[in-house]
Each structure stands twice: as structure tokens, then as C-alpha cells.
Amino acid sequence: MTALPVEPANLAGTGTDVGSAPPARPKGGAGDVRKGGWFPRIAVLVVVVLWVIPTLGVLVTSFRPEELADSTGWWTAFGHVFDGGQWTLQNYRDALDAGGFQNAFLNSLAVAVPATIIPITIAAFAAYAFSWMDFRGRYVMFVGVVGLMVVPLQMALIPILRLYTRGASIGGWTLFPDFDLSGSYLGVWLAHTAFGLPLAVYLLRNYIGSLPSEIIESARMDGADHFTIFWRLVVPLSVPALAAFAIFQFLWVWNDLLIAYIFLGGTRDTRVLTIALANLVGSRGENWHLLTSAAFISMALPLAVFFALQRYFVRGLTAGAVKG
């Protein structure tokens, strides 16, 4: 393919647009006046500490033996940091030994990856259309999408499950064929896609809609059709938003229990990690030692994913990614 008429690099200098323009900022060097100062540092530190303490409590408790975890506050462990009797890996061993985790982990992965990619793709196309294409019903449809964010998923589960197991028909007319999707991965992916779409479309539309109209316009004047503009221009520019949403969706799907349980199953073969962990822990939750280690096990992958991808959006767009 030949080069596009407008390189992303040309975006620098479109400062007249007051709406949030994407990559346009050269990062300052050593003389950057904005950095530094004690107030931001203190404030950030305070907030971070407040935020982290609850999780810290869980982390510490997960390494403490059962009797201690149940009878003394976790902060007391700091008084005996080097005392061997204070710490143990037994909780993690118990949690992992309970078995079936490898299977459950793989199942979770098989559910989460497509259930992230599919909604993002679909939402990106729709968001682009809502932003830059003119067609009848776009307001109504978009507002409908926003409104659908409020639908509590529990209300949707029974109707959807029925559709999966029996299909739907009115008076002999098949509205929805009986695909027998219950228990299949496809069924779970579609369900997750449906629940993730409203927010995805909403967020992505906001981002894509705020891209400078000049770029789109000049591409159109050069004769590019919408698909090309979308695929070759808008998508690369939207990587931060797409990455951000990908993480949200991945985390949400990975941590989900109900949808995977209802649509995929809870038996030893089909269950995902969240179910395996919930089963370990039970609902009479006062076994803090198990609860906490299970919680951390379930956090491991999402945290890894988050740290791996955070540079795409936590830092915003840095110089070097964009010329000029």
C-alpha cells in the first residue's frame, strides 16, 4: 500500500483545536518547568499509601500461618519481620494443591483473550461510524448504547441462556436458531462481548470523535474511503484508547465469575480460575489465610498484564512515538 496523504507526524502543530487532540506534545527536557515541587510529591504519596494499605494487609496475611492470621492483626507481623515462625508459604501451597488450577487457568485464558479482542474490534468500528460517518439514526443508536450500560447483567442472563439452549421463535417463525451455545466458548465470548460493548463504544467514540477533523477531512479529500481511513489512520492513532480499553475488558473478563459459570459451566473441566478459587474459599469466609492467598493468586495474571501494558496509557503518549 502506498503511503497515506497525512502522516501521523503532521499532527504536531494542530494546536488550534481546543478539543483533546492526540499526540501533539514534545516532552520537555531538563528545563521543563512543570515538573517537580514538593506539593505533588507529598500529595501523591499520601494518596498512594491510603490506596495500598488495604491490599498490603491482604498480602501480609497471605504469608502468615493460619493461627496467627486469625488471631492477630496483620500489622503485628511488622514487629517480628525476621521471626521465621511469622511467615509461611503453606497457604499458597494449600491453595495451589487444591488442584485443577492449571486447567482453570487455561480455561480463563481461552475465555479472556477472545472476549477482549472481539468487543474491541466491534466497538472500534461502531465508534468510528458514530464519530465520522453520517447516517440516519446515529443519535438514537448512540444514546441507546449509552443507555444500555445500565442494564444489570443478572437480568440478561436468563433470557440469554434460554436463547442459547432453546432458541427463540414466535408462532413458527424462528427468530433465533437453536445453536446449542450453552457450554461452548463461543457462547461465553458473545456474552462478554455484549456486556462490554456499551462502555467500549462510549469510550472509544469519545476518543475517536476528538481526533482532529482536519486529518480525516484531508484523507477524504484525497479519495480514501471510510474503511481505509479507519483501518490505516484512525486505528493506529487510537492505540492508547484501544490499549486502555483492552486492559479494562481483559481484567473484567478475567475476574468475572458469574458469566463464565452460567455459560461455560462449573464442573472440573470447564471452570475458570475465579470459580476454582471461589470453590477453594467457600462462603463461610473466616479462613483468612486461604482467602488471602487465593485472592493474590487470582490477581497474578491481571497484574502482570497490567504492568506489561501500562506504558501504553498510564504515561500517555510520549515523545518519540510521534514525530515532531
* CA within 13 Å, CB half, 116: 23
Would you say 63 or 254 has its CB closer to another protein?
Answer: 254
Q: How far is the CB of 82 from another protein (least distance, A)?
A: 22
* Residues binding another protein: number (CB under 8 A): 176
- Cite the DSSP H helix spans in 14-152: 38-62, 66-71, 90-97, 101-132, 138-148
228 near another protein, judged by CB under 8 A: yes
Helix (H, G, I), strand (E, B) or coil at 173: strand
Give the separation between CA 181 and CA 52, rounded to whole angstroms: 41
C-alpha cell at 174: 424462528
The answer for 36, left when phi > 0, alpha when psi is -120 to 50, beta otherwise, is left
316 near another protein, judged by CB under 8 A: yes
- Residues 287-306 binding another protein (CB under 8 A) are 288, 291-292, 294-296, 298-299, 302-303, 305-306
Find all residues with CB under 8 Å of 179, minimum gap 6, and list them: 164, 167
- Cite the DSSP H helix spans in the chain: 38-62, 66-71, 90-97, 101-132, 138-148, 153-166, 185-209, 213-221, 226-228, 235-237, 239-255, 258-263, 273-281, 288-309
272 near another protein, judged by CB under 8 A: no
Q: How far is the CB of 239 from another protein (least distance, A)?
A: 11
Would you say 92 or 202 has its CB closer to another protein?
Answer: 202
92 near another protein, judged by CB under 8 A: no
Separation of first and last alpha carbons in the chain: 24
- Residues 106-145 binding another protein (CB under 8 A) are 106-107, 109-110, 113-115, 117-118, 121-123, 125-126, 128-130, 133-135, 138-139, 141-145
Would you say 23 or 88 has its CB closer to another protein?
Answer: 23
Closest CA to 234 of 246, 245, 222, 242: 242
71 near another protein, judged by CB under 8 A: yes
80 near another protein, judged by CB under 8 A: no
- Return the residue of 9, 44, 308, 321 that touches another protein, per CB under 8 A: 44
239 near another protein, judged by CB under 8 A: no
- Return the residue of 237, 260, 277, 322 that touches another protein, per CB under 8 A: 277
234 near another protein, judged by CB under 8 A: no
C-alpha cell at 308: 506489561
218 near another protein, judged by CB under 8 A: no
Q: How far is the CB of 313 from another protein (least distance, A)?
A: 6
Find all residues with CB under 8 Å of 167, minimum gap 6, and list them: 174, 175, 176, 177, 178, 179
Give the separation between CA 150 and CA 132, rounded to whole angstroms: 26
- Residues 140-199 binding another protein (CB under 8 A) are 141-152, 154-166, 176-177, 179-186, 189-191, 193-195, 197-199
Would you say 65 or 183 has its CB closer to another protein?
Answer: 183
- Return the residue of 29, 78, 286, 320 that touches another protein, per CB under 8 A: 286
